Amino acid sequence: MTRTLNDISIGNNALPPPGKHLCRCVGAKAWVSPNKKTPAAMLTFITRDGAYQFDDPVFVTAKALGRLSLVSQRLCHLEKTVVLPDDDMAAAKQLARYITDNASGQDILLTIEEQDEQYMIQEGPEVGQVKTRTRRRVAYGGYEIPVEEQVP
């Protein structure tokens, strides 16, 4: 099997291979995307065996309200009966604050997926050429509450 750049760990943000992994959230903070300036709750996870440490941004937008709700319920154990503001953006901000305040120290079963994405070279001798790279990320709905036997 051929090794690619995607197989080489860079810093502390190397995601584990595709599949389900028991992880612990070791950090949660407010963060802003450097490209589009979108606010997010940046969650830092470590696999239970300690082999991987990686980040997963949960963006704070009205359209991401479903994912914020899922993460707050499954990772932070927020009750489904919590009353939220009628405005979607206000509700997203409230959930993001709850996540950053309560996610650290929680165990979760994360699903890692792998996708090919295309990009265009912007500068250099290959400018204009389209390349493909494989990228790993936490699945959109990839947060599952682990069963008791999975958590040591």
pLDDT 10s digits, 104-147: 999 999 999 999 989 898 888 988 899 898 889 999 999 999 98
Percentage of the chain lying above the pLDDT 70 cut: 89
pLDDT for the residue 9: 45
pLDDT for the residue 96: 98
Query: Is there a contact between 139 and 98 (Cβ–Cβ < 8 Å)?
Result: no
pLDDT for the residue 12: 46
- Confidence bin at 2 (pLDDT 50/70/90): low
Query: Is there a contact between 21 and 112 (Cβ–Cβ < 8 Å)?
Result: yes
pLDDT for the residue 19: 95
> What would the mean pLDDT of 40-53 be, rounded to a whole number?
94
pLDDT for the residue 6: 52
* Single pTM value for the model: 0.82
Percentage of the chain lying above the pLDDT 90 cut: 70
Which segments of the chain are extended strands (E)?
Answer: 19-32, 39-47, 53-59, 107-120, 130-144
For the chain, report the end-to-end CA distance as a whole number of angstroms.
34
Higher-confidence residue of 87 and 135: namely: 87
37, with CB counted inside 10 A (0-12, 13-18, 19+), is exposed
Question: If you average pLDDT over every residue of the chain, what do you get?
Answer: 89
Token pair 């001798």 in the structure block, residue: 125
Q: Classify residue 70 by its DSSP letter.
A: H
Phi, psi of 95 (to 5 degrees): -65, -40
> What would the mean pLDDT of 32-47 be, rounded to a whole number?
94
pLDDT for the residue 117: 87
Q: Which residues of 122-150 are buried (b: 16+ CB within 10 A; e: fewer)?
A: eeeeeeeeeeeeeeeebeeebbbebeeee
Token pair for 40: 């997010």
Query: Is there a contact between 133 and 51 (Cβ–Cβ < 8 Å)?
Result: no
Q: Is the dihedral angle over the CA atoms 113, 63, 56, 72 positive or is it negative?
A: negative
